[in-house]
Structure 1
Amino acid sequence: MGIEDNLKSLGLELPKPLKTLGSYVPVITTDSKLLFFSGVIPVENGIVIKGKFGKDLKLEDAKKPAQLIVLSILANIKEITQNFSRIKQIVKIEGYVNSTEDFEEQPKVMNEVSNLLVSIFGEKGKHTRIAISVNSLPMGACLEVAGIIELN
């Protein structure tokens, strides 16, 4: 099955790519066949999913923002590459989790992103990762994800 078929089988649909919040581009490729994607926050129908894990949000609340972020990332990538067949490997994912000082489950929050990427891309979706606790994120977002993808 192709990536688009995997998305459909998971009941997921790509949104239209969102505009950036500042003077940067959402995705850029290099001659070395690397694609870098800028930090993406969870937005649903124009509304940012806000909150702080350990205060406003529990671990169980991570699935929806993770899904929105992954779909937004894929929409941005597809706009640049035209299709997903050029993706050779998800290389690295950086996760910034808006969380309280005593919340220690950032890796579990990021598992929602990682697991979805593997569900969509299979072996190509396996990646290195970092999960960092932060005190705040743009627009009060609960999560932000950036990363690197290798292209064919």
Structure 2
Amino acid sequence: MAGKIETRLKELGIELPAATAPVANFVPCVQTGNLLYVSGQVTAFNGEIRHVGKVGGTISLEEAVQAARLCALNVLSQARAFLGDLDRVTRVVQVQGFVNAEPDYRDHPKVVNGASDVFVEVFGDAGKHARFAVGVGSLPLGVSVEVAAVLEVK
């Protein structure tokens, strides 16, 4: 029987990408106590890198929001792979958003809203979180967005 969160994902028409192995010397998730730290996730969907470029340059705000959504889906995918069940998530504590943007770009928070919206859609009030959204000069593989998260779990 599917859990509450898996049912919610189906209701929303959300398909989580497959959790991928890290490409460097780190692990996707680390749990300490009741906190799960999910490493930064980029804009990959089942091995295909998407949304490559600079926001405010080759990537529009609308595409960057979709890129942030995809990063959030990858965060959920990694959490599910680690925990075995997303129903174990009791709260999204913090979201960390990195936007590969042109130097004069100023709408980083609007971009990272794409990720924040996913967590609230999926977890409701438990998805509301603290966060930061910063612009960076580059990101791995040239992707436009990277998102990491801290989740409270049972």
Q: What TM-score results when the alignment is normalised by the length of structure 1?
A: 0.94
1:5 is aligned to 7
Distance 2:80 2:46 in 1: 20
For residues 2-151 of structure 1, the aligned pairs below 5 Å read 2-30=4-32, 32-49=33-50, 50-151=52-153
1:70 offset after TM fit, Å? 1.6
8 Å contact from structure 2 (residues 96, 147) kept in 1: yes
Separation of aligned partners in 1, 2:130 and 2:87 = 21
Give 1:63 shift. 3.3
Shift of 1:45: 4.2
Name the SS for the 2:87 alignment partner: coil
Deviations 1:42-74 (A, max 9, x none): 113423221100101111112321222122111
State the distance in 2 between where 1:125 and 1:137 align. Answer: 26
SS for the counterpart of 2:64 is: helix
Q: Give the SS at the match of 1:85.
A: helix
Secondary structure (helix, strand or coil) at the match of 1:6 reads: helix
Unaligned runs of 5+ in 2: none
Q: Structure 1 143/121 Cα, relative in aligned 2: closer, same or farther at 3 Å?
A: same
Whole-angstrom CA distance in 2 between matches of 1:35 and 1:27: 7
Identity, in percent, stands at 37
Give the whole-Å Cα distance in 1 for the aligned partners of 2:54 and 2:148: 19
The separation in 2 between residues aligned to 1:84 and 1:142, in whole angstroms, is 27
Moved more, 43-52 or 118-127: 43-52
CA distance, structure 2, for counterparts of residue 102 and residue 85 of structure 1:
41
Which residue identity lines up with residue 44 of structure 1 in the other structure? Answer: F
Which ranges of structure 1 fall in alignment gaps of 5 or more residues? none
Q: Distance in 2 between matches of 1:83 and 1:133?
A: 33
